Amino acid sequence: MPSIIEEIVYRGILLTLLSTVFIDNFKIGKTSFGMGVIITSILFGLWHGLNITNDLELIISWIPFIYTGLIGFVLALIKERTGSLLFPIIIHEIINILPQTMGYIF
């Protein structure tokens, strides 16, 4: 289940480490966050948007980068707000399962 591993790496380890380095100087609603949220969101987007061709050329697919970067941002905010990885893991898993389920329905 890649969603669990990705949440542990991006929101569990990276975000926790970066949150100890950067102060919370941003706020959305009642959720305060620092640059760690932004950095992990960009890295999450790059992980899903970067591709290496057979010629070892590095290309970026902008739609997956933006889409997963925004999802990563929301999941990081949820982790910061709740202090738990449980909700980001559940939401991430639902996001991963939904397209497959919708394909079978339609």
User: What's the pLDDT at 106?
Assistant: 42
Q: What percent of the chain has pLDDT over 90?
A: 87
Model confidence pLDDT, tens digit, residues 28-68: 999 999 999 999 999 999 999 999 999 999 999 999 999 99
Domain residues for 82? 2-105
Do 40 and 14 meet the contact criterion of CB atoms below 8 Å apart?
Answer: yes
pTM for the whole structure: 0.88
User: What's the pLDDT at 104?
Assistant: 53
Q: What percent of the chain has pLDDT over 70?
A: 93
User: What's the pLDDT at 41?
Assistant: 98
Tally the domains of the chain: 1
**Band of the pLDDT at 3, cuts 50, 70, 90?**
confident
